[in-house]
Amino acid sequence: ATQIVAFQKDAKAAHVKQMHRVFALLGSGNYAGAWQEQLNLEKMMAADHQAYERALYPLYDLSNAMFMACPSRQGVSMQQDPLQAIQLVRNVYVRGVGIEDANKFLGADDIELSIDIIKNMVEKQLIEDVKATHTADAYRELLTVLDNNHPAYKYAAEQVAILEFDESCKTVAGCHAYLRNYPNSPLIEKAKAQLLKLEFTHAKEVNDEKTWNKFISDYQFVSEASTQVGEARKALTHLQETRLCNKATTLAELDDYASSHRRDVANRVFVAYDNLVNLPTHSYRFMSLKLNFNGFVGSVDETITETSGTVTLNRYKFNAQGLLTEAYNGHTRVLTQYTYAYDAKHGYYLVGKKEKGKSYAYKC
């Protein structure tokens, strides 16, 4: 059996000389001629392909890489795959076997190649193919095989970000993911503007206090969102007025609102409140009727016992907002109707008092 020697051991061996012919043509750019010589080499290797591959490593892998990355397919029937080609070349560096001998072989006067030159040629073709394909996935694959300091690395990363923008920034969640994943994207400001637009649209569609409050909290200090924040404040105030400007509103709700919101003279809730606190028929101001209780809701029975023993019963009823709705003095019942009224006060009431020979008792 013919001994299959490594290319470093015998430059005159038939398979080594054939490998030399392949690279001599590749070095001159004659891919079609080189491919024919590669096919002749394959016939020679058919007897024990693995043994020949080991003997010619890494030259055989490097020639295949050049054919896979061939810029023109004319005369080369191997499937073009620059990505696989660059991975073959990178594996040569990773394994670190036979690099010095391979460079010596490739540096022959009639070849004038090196592993670095082959790597650059393959990378160049891969970059051109990726640019022609121009998809985010293609650029992502390119990033996996390029060194971080490669001139095309930054360009590829930017292209991924640009292409991902149209795909990702269709939803609020997509915009947040884009901003998180591509903080250095050239479209970062565009993504922020898109997020603002989507979140403002979402807030208008939902149109509740919680959503508007969150939008205002997120964007109140963003100068580009000043117009939207202004509209959000108006929408929020309208919702609050609608919720609070009705007779079902309780003192507790109004008190919570007054204590947790900044006073705004244009806010109808505060305007109504300011009017209300001076309304003598409201429990907050009911001291004008000399009953001295403040911010009360429900009913109050007033029993007046004179020294002579005469007893008079008065009854006062207040609604959930502390407004007097009914007064009864034992003989006449008076009903009071209101258009609207609001309060933000809780107070106290007396359980009893004595005044000018009369004893007052209250049951609430």
| Dist. CA 118–CA 4, nearest whole Å | 26
Q: What is the mean pLDDT of residues 251-266?
A: 73
**Residue 350's pLDDT is what?**
42
What whole-number percentage of the chain has pLDDT above 90?
A: 59
**Residue 122's pLDDT is what?**
95
Structure tokens at 255: 């008190």
**Residue 269's pLDDT is what?**
74
Q: pTM here?
A: 0.57
**Residue 355's pLDDT is what?**
64
- Dump pLDDT digits (tens) for 204-258: 999 999 999 999 999 999 999 999 999 999 999 899 888 887 767 766 676 678 7
What whole-number percentage of the chain has pLDDT above 70?
A: 79
**Residue 343's pLDDT is what?**
39
Classify strands 358-363 and 298-306 as parallel, antiparallel or unpaired: antiparallel
User: What is the Cα 108 distance to its own chain's centre?
Assistant: 56
Angle at which helix 59-68 crosses helix 14-27, to 10 degrees, equals: 30
Q: Where is pLDDT greater, at 228 or 2? A: 228
| Dist. CA 170–CA 201, nearest whole Å | 12
Whether the pLDDT of residue 124 is over 90: the answer is: yes
- Dump pLDDT digits (tens) for 30-60: 999 999 999 999 999 999 999 999 999 999 9
Mean pLDDT of the chain: 83
Whether the pLDDT of residue 281 is over 90: the answer is: no
User: Which of 119, 31, 113 is CA-nearest to residue 78?
Assistant: 31
Whether the pLDDT of residue 24 is over 80: the answer is: yes
Whether the pLDDT of residue 1 is over 60: the answer is: no
Note the helical H segments in the chain.
14-27, 31-45, 49-56, 59-68, 82-95, 99-106, 115-133, 136-145, 151-168, 172-181, 188-206, 209-219, 226-244, 251-260, 268-276
**Residue 117's pLDDT is what?**
97
Q: What is the mean pLDDT of residues 95-102?
A: 95
What is the pLDDT confidence band of residue 167, given thresholds at 50, 70 and 90? Answer: confident
Whether the pLDDT of residue 292 is over 50: the answer is: no
**Residue 220's pLDDT is what?**
95
Contact by Cβ (8 Å): 67, 38 = yes
- Dump pLDDT digits (tens) for 178-211: 999 999 888 999 999 999 999 999 999 999 999 9
Q: What is the mean pLDDT of residues 343-352?
A: 40
What is the pLDDT confidence band of residue 341, given thresholds at 50, 70 and 90? Answer: very low
User: Which of 355, 361, 356, 243 is CA-nearest to residue 302?
Assistant: 361
**Residue 143's pLDDT is what?**
94
**Residue 301's pLDDT is what?**
78
Whether the pLDDT of residue 363 is over 80: the answer is: no
Contact by Cβ (8 Å): 34, 69 = no
Whether the pLDDT of residue 364 is over 80: the answer is: no
- Dump pLDDT digits (tens) for 129-141: 999 999 999 999 9
**Residue 329's pLDDT is what?**
74
- Dump pLDDT digits (tens) for 296-334: 567 777 788 888 888 888 887 877 666 667 778 777 776
